Structure 1
Amino acid sequence: MPSLYDFEAKTIQDQVFRFADFKGQPFLIVNTARKCGFAGQLNELEVLHQSYKNQGLMIIAFPCNQFGSQEPGSNEEIAQQCEMSFHTTFQMMSKIDVNGATAHPLYQWLTNEAPGLLGSEAIKWNFTKFLVDKSGKVVERFSSMHAPDKLRTPIEKLL
């Protein structure tokens, strides 16, 4: 049975990111979009990152343009604006699809492991969050409406 540690992805700087290199660490994985009404969650994710990075939490953001075309532009433009406007220092990945035939394999696995409302595997909108434990298993899925600050208790249980 696969775990998070079986996957790789490209960073926003086009480097290979092997999740296996971070075995034993919990992850919060989020699909993001700068032009979304929930974009303020990028700031909230950074607060979580600063609060828990020294305890091992890895926050991984995957920009995605599948919802209302709210993540336009190149990886370089996304990285620059996230750093300048949202002051992000957590790991940003290359822009991907999270739904459909072109969905990144990691997201195919995440949505299968933690279906959403009424068992739907599809990601409904930007800022859907997946919490993964230290063994690489998905613990819980959170909707866009679930503010990052409300994840402190479940995160602390994993640390």
Structure 2
Amino acid sequence: MSVYEYSAKTIKGEDVSLDRFRGNVMLIVNTASKCGFTPQYKELQALYEEFNEQNVTILGFPCNQFGSQEPGKEQDIEQFCQLNYGVSFPMFAKVDVKGEHAHPLFTYLTEEAPGLLGSKGIKWNFTKFLVDQNGKVVKRYAPQTSPKDIKKDIEELLK
């Protein structure tokens, strides 16, 4: 199995297979617009701009499961991200990332890259998963991990 087996709706409602990103390094992030970590959008966008031409992409998945910090509709989220952070990387429709209704992609990601002490559940917004060019999950990052601190791991995968 790999992330290529999954699909999701974009923020504009289009069904997209993650196979579309085959051959890319991906950083998959559950995001929120009203979170203390929301300013990470700026760093995520900077990573995207720096590495996009080298087949690296960021995939943002808004989630409202943590403190109701993503209450808006998709159009509101998209506008917020573009106006405040210039986000141009692919954004997806809101999803659940834990629990009974978790999106299958996030169930897979947490199985492949457990968190601290082997915990599988996502504990907060801006948990990040680094996926290599072959669709293999290689690392999980805590919400407080700055996207700029992931840069060296991305560069390593590009070698």
TM-score, with normalisation over the residues of structure 2?
0.98
d(CA) in 2 for partners of 1:147 and 1:23? 25
Q: Which runs of 4+ in 1 moved over 2 A?
A: none
Q: Deviations over 1:111-154 (max 9, x none)?
A: 00000011110001000000000110000000011100001110
1:158 aligns with 2:157: yes
Aligned residue-pair number: 158
- Give the equivalent residue in structure 2 for 1:52: 51
What is the Cα deviation at residue 22 of structure 1? 2.1
d(CA) in 2 for partners of 1:120 and 1:90? 29
SS in 2 for 1:24: coil
- Aligned-pair RMSD on alpha carbons? 0.6
Q: Which moved more, 1:14-23 or 1:121-130?
A: 14-23
- Give the equivalent residue in structure 2 for 1:132: 131
Q: Which runs of 5+ in 2 are unaligned?
A: none
Q: Which runs of 5+ in 1 are unaligned?
A: none
1:32 aligns with 2:31: yes
Q: Deviations over 1:62-106 (max 9, x none)?
A: 000000000011001100111111110000000000000000000
SS in 2 for 1:92: coil
SS in 2 for 1:91: coil
Give the AA of the match of 2:14: Q
What is the Cα deviation at residue 19 of structure 1? 1.1
Give the AA of the match of 2:17: R
Percentage of pairs with the same residue: 51
What is the Cα deviation at residue 157 of structure 1? 1.1
SS in 2 for 1:154: helix
d(CA) in 2 for partners of 1:40 and 1:32? 10
Q: Which moved more, 1:13-22 or 1:58-67?
A: 13-22
What is the Cα deviation at residue 21 of structure 1? 2.0
SS in 2 for 1:31: strand
What is the Cα deviation at residue 16 of structure 1? 1.2
TM-score, with normalisation over the residues of structure 1?
0.98
